[in-house]
Amino acid sequence: MTLRRDALLSVAELKQHLVGDRTTATWVEYLESIGAPDIAIELPSTDDLRPILLDFAVPHEDIDFLLDSLPTMERSEGLWWLLERCAHSMVREMGVIDGPLPFPPLPESMGVLHRYFYVYVFVAVLPHVREYYHAQGIPDQVSRPTLADLGRNMAVHRRRFQVGGLDNADWITLHFRGAIYQLGRLQFERSTLGNRTGKAVAEAGLPYAPGSPALGVHVPAFYGPLTPQACDASFERAGVFFARHFPEETYDIGVCHSWLLDDQLAQYLPPAANILHFQRRFQPAYRPAEPDDEGIVRFVFGRSTTVPDELPRRTTLERAIGDHLRAGPSLVWWHRAPALKA
């Protein structure tokens, strides 16, 4: 049964929508286990919500729905329970590198709200992340673009599915827990080396191992070309930023896991391409055994199909990927590589 938008939902009814799937069932158990929040979890009034959504760069097409569907305790006890517990799971791990259990996709039985619900969770967490930013001395010129990745990802959703929503809420929890910061063209995530990357780095003779502190390097979409100058400036800012705002953490190494680092792209792009310049900053760590054509197509074209004839051929990269997919299946790979000292 699909939930009506104005349905008055009890906590028990809401849980019924969630326990049908194994992932959400485990997650409900986890939300129950953390208990009720010992801090106030609140949502702003619709009037106060408007400018917040604009600050988050939420696409204009999505704003009316979000204002209109604002959850309240009176409107739905069930949704309010979910909102409180999700926000609590984030606030109790504010600033912690290994975060809470990931937010899973919500079931379609929740109606349109299943695509939008987590946006309210981020709004509810906002006062707490602001407090954390204040304690760490994070300036507005960093916090604003960092949190605006929420709206960017809603724009990505709209481009991909032609409807509003957010399908990677788990990624956005990093921003609202103080784990990731946008510094100019790039985003940098406080993290540690994983098992495979850590081992590869150690084998390359570098003084790091699984668990060593590392900055995850991310390239946001819809932010112009990835020029070497913009990247230089970002890396330089990262060095200063983390030393100043996280002096107890030492980051000498950056890692990136992206389709952008697939060395096969060099067969198609001119040597001066920004993407190839970006690749040259990194040393290969390992090539995953599994190909991921879908991942690259999703990022480049915003589409789910990997059928070459259905993909546009407007740019050198689009033609390259189409040709590559046509020449043989599963030839486009993700790649992870460590950067020697950002």
**d(Cα 115, Cα 241) in Å, to the nearest integer?**
34
Give the shortest CB-180-to-ligand COA separation in angstroms: 13
Binding site for ligand COA (CB under 6 A): 219, 221, 225-226, 258-260, 269, 273-275, 299-300, 315-318
Beta carbon nearer to ligand COA, 19 or 269: 269
Give the shortest CB-315-to-ligand COA separation in angstroms: 4
Q: Which residues touch 161 (CB under 8 Å, ≥6 apart)?
A: 167
Exposed, middle or buried by CB within 10 Å (0-12, 13-18, 19+), for 192?
middle
Give the shortest CB-268-to-ligand COA separation in angstroms: 9
Give the shortest CB-170-to-ligand COA separation in angstroms: 15
User: What would you measure as the largest C-alpha separation in the chain, in angstroms?
Assistant: 60
C-alpha closest to that of 214 among 233, 240, 188 = 188
Beta carbon nearer to ligand COA, 137 or 224: 224
Give the shortest CB-318-to-ligand COA separation in angstroms: 5
Beta carbon nearer to ligand COA, 65 or 299: 299
Beta carbon nearer to ligand COA, 67 or 317: 317
Give the shortest CB-243-to-ligand COA separation in angstroms: 26
Beta carbon nearer to ligand COA, 109 or 274: 274
**d(Cα 196, Cα 255) in Å, to the nearest integer?**
12
Secondary structure of the chain as H, E, C letters: CCCCCCCCCCHHHHHHHHCCCHHHHHHHHHHHHHCCCCCCCCCCCHHHHHHHHHHCCCCHHHHHHHHHCCCCCCCCHHHHHHHHHHHHHHHCCCCCCCCCCCCCCCCHHHCCHHHHHHHHHHHHHHHHHHHHHHHHCCCHHHHHHHHCHHHHHHHHHHHHHCCCCCCCHHHHHHHCCCCEEEECCEEEEEEECCHHHHHHHHHCCCCCCCCCEEEEEECCCCCCCCCHHHHHHHHHHHHHHHHHHCCCCCCCEEEEEEHHHCHHHHHCCCCCCHHHHHHCCCCCCECCCCCCHHHHHHHHHCCCCCCHHHCCCCCHHHHHHHHHHHHCCCCCCCEEEEEECC
Beta carbon nearer to ligand COA, 128 or 157: 157
Beta carbon nearer to ligand COA, 96 or 221: 221
Give the shortest CB-224-to-ligand COA separation in angstroms: 7
Give the shortest CB-236-to-ligand COA separation in angstroms: 19
Give the shortest CB-258-to-ligand COA separation in angstroms: 4
